[in-house]
Amino acid sequence: MQPEMQSSELNVSVLLSVGAHPKTARSRRADQDAKALELALSLPKARVAAIHAGDAGDEALRQYLGMGLPALQVLPQPKEADVVPVLVDYLRQHPATLVLTGGKAEQGESSGMLPYLLAQELGWPVVPRVAAVESVGNGKAAVLQALPRGQRRALTVSLPCVLCIDEAAPAPRQSAFALGQRGKIEVLSAAVTTDSERADWTVQPARKRPKRLKVVKAKTAADRFKAATAKASGDGGQVIVPKTVEEGAEAILKMLKEEGVLR
Amino acid sequence: MITSLLSVLIFIALALAVIGAVRRARLWRQGQANPVDIIGGLLKMPRRYLVDLHHVVARDKAMSNTHVATAGGFVASAVLIVLVHLFELDSRILAWALLLTTATMFTGAIFVYRRRIDPPSRLSKGPWMRLPKSLLVFAASFFVLTLPAAGILPEGAGGWLLAVVLTAGIVWGMGEMFFGMTWGGPMKHAFAGALHLAFHRRAERFEDGVGRSTGLKAIDLTAAKLGVEKPADFKWNQLLGFDACVQCGRCEAACPAFAAGQPLNPKKLIQDMVVGLAGGTDVNYAGSPYPGKPIGEHGGNAHSPIVKGLVDAETLWSCTTCRACVEECPMMIEHVDAIVDMRRFLTLEKGATPNKGPEVLENLIATDNPGGFEPGSRMHWAADLSIPVLADVKQTEVLFWVGDGGFDMRNQRTLRSFVKLLKAAKVQFAVLAHEERDSGDVARRLGDEATFQQLAKRNIKTLSQYGFKRIVTCDPHSFHVLKNEYGELGGHYEVLHHTTYLNELVQSGALQVSKHQGGSVTYHDPCYLGRYNGEYEAPRELLRSLGIEVKEMERSGFRSRCCGGGGGAPITDIPGKQRIPDMRMDDARATGAEIVAVGCPQCTAMLEGVVEPRPEIKDIAELLVAALVEVDEPAGQKSTGQKAAVQTAEPVKMAAASKAAAAKTGEPA
């Protein structure tokens, strides 16, 4: 597939999932996916296609339509399906220059693996934690990657590519009720591949992770500001530049054992 | 000679007036259909004019008398002119009557003229400055003209000179009074105003002097367009209402947003809608502008979008929906309806709610409360109070509607006080706890009718499962919405504000209170309790029963000034020159009172946000608790120093639970 050079029109596919509100678990537009859609809608000359692999009847999809999408394509998939093959098929049939996704889903496996698996199948590069797309053209996209504490890293990536949009991307526009009601949900026909690995899993509600207590030692506002913004000093760590994959894995394993994560 | 010319002139003026009336009516009919009782409305119109409208005008006695003389004189004169000078009925009595009416009109017009010598800033100038002269000329000309018919002067007295002067006077006078009335002159207010009274969209307002109609009207969420985008999207009788505006500027003088320098002036807004319905620009508008927005830059027509054409969005979002303008309007125009209609379009169709609006609406959709708090934490403030929950007891006397104030630490103090009073009065009550949702007030006033209807329908469904006699709430916004806005969606309840209910308890002797011990007190009327629901007396009676003599503010009762917290105004937060609560606190300071008694969580938050030094803010329930006489408790055990709401009913569970609750509510344990 040839990426468009100096394209007059840019084909952008946004993959949208149904999110879950952190307080009530009510279904909603997923935060990162909504940011991905916002980014797509604000790209100049972009032709945006929005795709959801899942339940076409979910009312939360209307919240995406409310952002000004005239239509949304749904590849109907049951909960237990593996959505990677059907999305790969779709993207092969409907070539896109940019595929935007959120970092990870707000429900289900929420592994954050989907963009990587897609990119692997398609043979495209993938950029995680994208905060902004600065320019697209000449077979390349200039993007900004979000790093901790508001830092950004400028990257250039060859097209086509998969971009995972980070929380640091601009907030999504308000969803307008009437637009959401009037937007079309187009149900496409799609094959279903059952996730065989998943079938063996037992699923249970997540336990709340224990949190390290944060003792605020700062006495003054200036101290608190410093504590909130300063780089972590990271004592005890070391920078390893592994020669081989095995060497790197070894180092990670060693650290996990030291920390008592693995026993 | 002059008599025949006169009949022709009168005929021409009346014919032109009729043509103008038809043209004007066609402008109104650009609006959407809204069936009204045409005959019935016209029959009721005189009463609505003489009773309801006059009631508003009569708040300014001098102006009211002026208007009675001028308008009464004019209407009677107009009828008599047709009889005497057009049909030329030869009757001395009629002629004398006409002399009397024109003289009355002339007298009134002198006072109109005097008011215009140094007019207050709220009055529009321009053509309105011409009106008193036109009135004088009209009255004087016809007075002199009628003298021969009354037999005082001989026919043809005064000769040609007088005839020419009189003819000029008649042309001017009738031009203003008949032609101008239907072709857009200042007298248009009489013509459009009369019809507006007849075909008012809220006919309930006029029922026997006690009529009240303040609930917003629901819209069909499946319609092709939601809300009002263009002037033609208003109902036709709303357009007619705008056209009735007499530009007296009473709304402007009452509007808190205007006073705070936010870009809103209710009078200008209505005039912009008139520009919209007739087409053109606001360049001829001769009143105060929207603060910070020059005149002459906006325009449009009935079929072009209002926002960015006729008005800017900030203007619409500045409104606190306090209804002060509607209360003051002698023409019974419904400003708040119009503003919310236009907001609905911006929110539902454009997704353009400003500032924190979208966040609040998303929270309401996802968590049923505007703050995005966990719904399960709604009753944390009452962890130690053992309040019965309706889901367990199913039946109760009083359903205590907590409202979103339950999430707010300051308001929790009010809620706890109220519970203590209910317990002291041995009232059987219960709460919905986590089954309660936001009433939908903020969503609706931010234009999100969809979220309002969803919240309302779910609340109605919840309420339908239980038995209760009445709902009592400490939040006037919930009170108003439950009482006046759920009906349209199928929820009919007897709802009371806590001050009304507490007053009942105190008056019936169920609650015994001693004298108030603190400093002097003024009372701030919440808009949604006072102007929206007419409850001015119960809070004052309660305060009197505490032995408090309320030091009334200059703006109190139906003229109370908004705290700035209504209509989602703190959420949309349109900048102005000063803050509305600061202005309100200045009103309170002027009374010298040490305590401002309030009855609304919004007012409490807004007024307490004013920097100190300032009077203390206390909910009436808090004042009552401080003076509560607990009859059952043996005197020795009376907990005086401890404020953590020790209950006489369950002293056992207290020790551990109250510490937790106190930590949460921020009360001293």
3-state secondary structure B320-358: CCCCHHHHHCCCCCCHHHHHHHHHHHHHHHCCCCCCCHH
User: Six-digit token pair at B620?
Assistant: 């009436």
Interchain contact, A23 vs B357, CB within 8 Å: no
Hey, how many other C-beta atoms are within 10 angstroms of the C-beta on A95?
13
More confident residue, B248 or A260: B248
More confident residue, B208 or B159: B159
Boundaries of every domain in chain A: 10-199, 221-258
B395-404 burial, b at 16+ Cβ within 10 Å, e below that, comes to: ebebbbbbbb
Asked if the C-beta of A68 comes within 8 angstroms of chain B's C-beta atoms, the answer is yes
Contacts A176 to B, Cβ<8 Å: 347-352
User: Six-digit token pair at B270?
Assistant: 């209505």
pLDDT of B332-379, one tens digit each? 999 999 999 999 999 999 999 999 999 999 999 999 999 999 999 999
Interchain contact, B221 vs A175, CB within 8 Å: no
B268, B285 Cβ separation under 8 angstroms: yes
pLDDT for res B659: 42
Question: Among B349, B352, B366, whose Cβ lies nearest the Cβ of A24?
Answer: B366
Average pLDDT (B497-512) is 96
Report helix angle B601-608 to B409-424, nearest 10: 130
pLDDT for res A239: 78
pLDDT for res A235: 60
Contacts A21 to B, Cβ<8 Å: 366-367
pLDDT of B313-322, one tens digit each? 999 999 999 9
Q: Is B562 exposed, middle or buried (0-12, 13-18, 19+ CB in 10 A)?
A: buried
Contacts B375 to A, Cβ<8 Å: 23-24
Average pLDDT (B567-587) is 96
Question: Among A23, A67, A178, whose Cβ lies nearest the Cβ of B367?
Answer: A23
Q: One-letter amino acid identity for B147?
A: L
B481, B444 Cβ separation under 8 angstroms: yes
Query: pLDDT band for position B308 (50/70/90)?
Result: very high
> Is B41 strand, coil or helix?
helix
More confident residue, B15 or A259: B15
Spatial separation of the C-alpha atoms in residues B15 and B174, rounded to whole Å: 12
pLDDT of B593 strictly over 60: yes
Average pLDDT (B518-525) is 95
Spatial separation of the C-alpha atoms in residues A77 and A94, rounded to whole Å: 19
User: Six-digit token pair at A19?
Assistant: 């999110």
pLDDT for res A231: 66
Query: pLDDT band for position A226 (50/70/90)?
Result: confident
Measure the CA dihedral B403/B406/B408/B412, to 10°: 120
Spatial separation of the C-alpha atoms in residues B129 and B111, rounded to whole Å: 13
pLDDT of B624 strictly over 80: yes
pLDDT of B157-183, one tens digit each? 777 888 899 999 999 999 999 999 999
Spatial separation of the C-alpha atoms in residues B468 and B486, rounded to whole Å: 16
pLDDT of B149 strictly over 90: no
pLDDT of A63-80, one tens digit each? 999 999 999 999 999 988
Hey, how many other C-beta atoms are within 10 angstroms of the C-beta on B599?
30
Average pLDDT (B436-457) is 97
> What was the ipTM of the complex prediction?
0.88
pLDDT for res B551: 96
Beta bridge partners of A145: A130, A153
Distance from the Cα of B446 to chain A's closest Cα (Å) equals 13
- What are the φ and ψ backbone dihedral angles of B642, each rounded to 5 degrees? -85, 125
- What are the φ and ψ backbone dihedral angles of A184, each rounded to 5 degrees? -100, 140
pLDDT for res A46: 92
Contacts A28 to B, Cβ<8 Å: 362, 365-366
Spatial separation of the C-alpha atoms in residues B320 and B323, rounded to whole Å: 8
Taking any CB pair shorter than 8 Å as contact, residues of chain B touching chain A are 221-222, 225-226, 347-353, 357-358, 361-362, 365-367, 372-375, 448, 450-451
pLDDT for res B155: 77
User: Six-digit token pair at B59?
Assistant: 């708040």
Residue A81 has what DSSP assignment? B
Interchain contact, B347 vs A176, CB within 8 Å: yes
pLDDT for res A233: 59
pLDDT of B645-667, one tens digit each? 444 444 334 444 444 444 444 44
Interchain contact, B353 vs A174, CB within 8 Å: yes
Q: One-letter amino acid identity for A105?
A: A
Task: Determine which helix (DSSP H) or strand (DSSP E) holds B655, and give its type and residue range.
Answer: helix B654-665
pLDDT for res A236: 62
Spatial separation of the C-alpha atoms in residues B430 and B495, rounded to whole Å: 15
pLDDT for res B640: 44
pLDDT of B20-38, one tens digit each? 999 999 999 999 999 999 9
pLDDT for res B195: 96
- How far is CA B561 from each of CA A116, A242, B321, B363, rounded to the nearest angstrom? 60, 71, 12, 29
Question: Among A24, A177, A181, whose Cβ lies nearest the Cβ of B448?
Answer: A177
Interchain contact, A176 vs B349, CB within 8 Å: yes
- What are the φ and ψ backbone dihedral angles of B401, each rounded to 5 degrees? -85, 110
B127, B86 Cβ separation under 8 angstroms: no
Asked if the C-beta of A52 comes within 8 angstroms of chain B's C-beta atoms, the answer is no
Beta bridge partners of A136: A141
- How far is CA B106 from each of CA A183, B83, B201, rounded to the nearest angstrom? 64, 20, 35
Asked if the C-beta of A193 comes within 8 angstroms of chain B's C-beta atoms, the answer is no
Beta bridge partners of A143: A133, A155
**What residue in B sits closest to A64 (Cα-Cα)?**
B351
Extended strands (E) in B517-651: 521-523, 595-598, 616-619
Spatial separation of the C-alpha atoms in residues A92 and A124, rounded to whole Å: 12
Distance from the Cα of A174 to chain B's closest Cα (Å) equals 5
B224, B540 Cβ separation under 8 angstroms: no
Whether domain A10-199 has CATH 3.40.50.11890: the reply is no
Average pLDDT (A229-243) is 71
When the pLDDT of each residue in chain B is averaged and rounded to a whole number, the result is 91
B120-152 burial, b at 16+ Cβ within 10 Å, e below that, comes to: eebbbeebbebbbbbbbbbbbbbbbbbbbbbee
Hey, how many other C-beta atoms are within 10 angstroms of the C-beta on A88?
15
Distance from the Cα of A180 to chain B's closest Cα (Å) equals 9
pLDDT for res A207: 84
pLDDT of B87 strictly over 90: no
> Is B266 strand, coil or helix?
helix
pLDDT for res B405: 93
Spatial separation of the C-alpha atoms in residues B120 and B115, rounded to whole Å: 9
Residue B389 has what DSSP assignment? B
pLDDT of B75 strictly over 70: yes
pLDDT for res A150: 84
Task: Determine which helix (DSSP H) or strand (DSSP E) holds B64, and give its type and residue range.
Answer: helix B61-81
pLDDT for res A232: 62
pLDDT for res B21: 96
Hey, how many other C-beta atoms are within 10 angstroms of the C-beta on B306?
27
Q: Chain A, 5-34: which have a CB under 8 Å from a chain B CB? A: 21, 23-24, 26, 28
Average pLDDT (B66-73) is 95
